[in-house]
Structure 1
């Protein structure tokens, strides 16, 4: 099997390592099959998509709507924009969680702001009719619980996106572009232990 890639941006080692472990656990992959790249520490490699099975994006400290951005954040955003040009054009398998919805949303022209920010919490997520027909959500109930915690969110989807799941406090919880390019506002990789680690790691981050 060709490997998957996890593109990560967390500078703190403990939550970064746990994020990788959670993606391994819930994807069923092992370390040989899930290559982690910590973009806050190194530039994004030039990927040959023909040599990969798919791309995951985890959460992180960057926000598309940040009024001030560091040189590292600007580099990471430029690298994602170039990667997503190819991913969307080829309809290459992609799943962005939390920060991933900001990268894909910004690439597609979504409106992203603080209107629908959510504190760290467990919420109810509802599948839309399109979500009920989507193969990635097959087997899930029409309403399910998920972990969230974010300072920004998509407040207006572009025409290229299909809304798959919504929440009461944040209307865009999951969308798809094309057939294989997905993004979630909630964290599909998180469990109670994982979110507890992040609460302690980011307690002073507002």
Structure 2
């Protein structure tokens, strides 16, 4: 099997490694079948799409709407734009989570701002009629819970973008472009323990009151978000080649 490629941007080793572990667990892949590239550490290498089954993008401390972006974030965004030019043109299998929805949506002309930002939560997310019919949502309940925490989100989706899942607090929780490019605002890789671990590293990033960290971590560990995990396993099962 050709491996999948995980494009990551977390600068701290511990949360970066935990994210990779979470993606391995939820996809069912082993390390040889999920190649990780940490873009914050250096320029994106030349990616030959024929070498991979698909591309995954994880979350990030970067925000799409940040006004004063670091040189690293500017480089990463330019590299994503160049890659997505090819990925979209070829309708190549792509699944972005959280920051990943920002990269794809920005490339496709969506309006993104802080209107639908969400603090740490596990909201009820509902599949749209299009989502109920989509193969990446196979096996999912019409309504499920998933972890979120983000400072910006899609406010206006372009007409060609298909909304697959929505929630009262964030209208675009999952979307598709063409046939094979997907993204979720929620985190389909996380369970309560992984998310609580991550919260400890990003307590001062504006997602919640840092003084409330112990209570938030306890709440997080008690949540059942297993219904959201189908997305990653379905992506791998559909596109492995």
TM-score by length of 2: 0.85
Cα separation, 2, equivalents of 1:125 and 1:168: 8
CA distance in 2, matches of 1:114, 1:154: 9
**Residues in 1 aligned to 2:27 and 2:165: alpha-carbon distance in whole angstroms:** 20
Name the structure 2 match of 1:147: 147
Ranges of 4+ aligned residues in structure 1 off by more than 2 Å: none
Query: For 2:43 and 2:116, how far apart are their aligned partners in 1?
Result: 31
**Counterpart mapping for 1:42-81 below 5 A:** 42-81=42-81
| Residues 134-189 of structure 1: per-residue CA shift (max 9 Å, x gap) | 00001101000000000000011012210000011011100000111000000000
Deviation at 1:87, TM superposition (A): 0.6
Partner of 1:192: 192
After superposition, give the CA deviation of every residue in 1:46-81 in whole Å (9 maximum; x if it has no partner): 111011100000000111111110110000000000
Q: Unpaired runs of 5+ in structure 2?
A: 207-241
Distance 2:113 2:3 in 1: 34
Q: 1:14, CA displacement in angstroms?
A: 1.1
The residue that corresponds to 2:104 in the other structure is 104
What secondary structure, in the 3-state scheme, does the structure 2 residue paired with 1:6 have? strand
Task: Say whether 1:10 aligns with 2:26.
Answer: no
Q: Secondary structure at the match of 1:126?
A: strand
**Larger % of helix: which?**
2
Equivalent residues in 2 for 1:161-172, closer than 5 Å: 161-172=161-172
| 2:40 aligned with 1:21 | no
Q: Which has the higher strand share?
A: 1
CA distance in 2, matches of 1:129, 1:35: 34
C-alpha distance in 1 between matches for 2:17 and 2:119: 23
Query: Aligned with 2:45: secondary structure?
Result: coil
Q: CA RMSD in A?
A: 0.6
Alpha-carbon shift at residue 12 of structure 1 (Å)? 1.3
Cα distance in 2, alignment partners of residues 123 and 201 from structure 1: 22
CA distance in 1, matches of 2:204, 2:110: 29
CA distance in 1 between counterparts of 2:71 and 2:48 reads 26
Structure 1 CA distance for aligned equivalents of residues 159 and 149 of structure 2? 26
Contiguous gaps of at least 5 residues in structure 1? none
1:179 partnered with 2:176: no
Q: How many residues align?
A: 206
Q: CA deviation at 1:199?
A: 1.1
